[in-house]
Amino acid sequence: MRARYLSLLILASLYLAAQALAQKEQRQPLTETQIEQIREAGIDPDERVKLYTKFLQEHVDSIRGLTPRIHSGARVKRLDGELQDLTALMDELGANLDQYGERKADLRKSLKGLTDSDKTWLDVLNALPSEPGFELSRKEAIDSEKDLADQAAQMLKEQTEYFNLHKDEKGQDRAEPKPQ
């Protein structure tokens, strides 16, 4: 009986330790202030995309600043984290674009800024030297950037065509049913 109790206690301790480790390793790509700005802009799709573009640029600037530094374990860990954050934000923005595209929100201004920025982001990611420790995160960031760039370019093209045909809907946050 005592051995059974002891083994249950050990299993419970290992489970709690694993949970604590999993919580510790979970990254948050945005600060609390940035999260609040995104929430406030939630009703304005165009502004929200502009904010995501700005926050992505900040991560890219951090990566650019870390690239020429002396090679160390701390640098590798920081670059890996920045790349993971960048990938998470790109994926989150892509999900937002999907949602706003379905709503026929007019995002042409912010999409133009996004498509202009994503070219430099890819250059920064490609300029990163191939090093163990963040190579997988670098590859995932490049893939996410290419997906986001393709999505934004396609959406900008579709929106330009749509709003050229539906001039009365220019600047809308969502398509509203037309009175019959």
The rounded percent of the chain whose pLDDT value lies above 90 is: 58
Residue 24 confidence (pLDDT): 44
In this predicted model, what pLDDT tens digit does every residue of 86-124 receive, in sequence order?
999 999 999 999 988 888 888 999 999 999 998 899 999
Domains in the chain, start-ordered, CATH in brackets? 30-166 (1.20.120)
Please state, in angstroms and rounded to a whole number, the distance separating the CA atoms of residues 50 and 58.
13
Rounded to whole angstroms, how far apart are CA atoms 174 and 177? 10
What pLDDT is stored for residue 174 in this prediction? Answer: 61
Model pLDDT, residue 18: 55
Q: Which of 6-10, 118-122, 128-132, 143-147 has the lowest mean pLDDT?
A: 6-10
Higher pLDDT, 130 or 62: 62
CB-based contact 47:41 (threshold 8 Å) = yes
Distance between CA atoms of 61 and 65, rounded to whole angstroms?
6
- Residue 85: both structure tokens together: 């954050």
Q: What is the mean pLDDT of the chain?
A: 85
Predicted confidence at residue 4, as pLDDT, reads 64
Q: Is the pTM of this model over 0.85?
A: no
| DSSP type of residue 131 | -
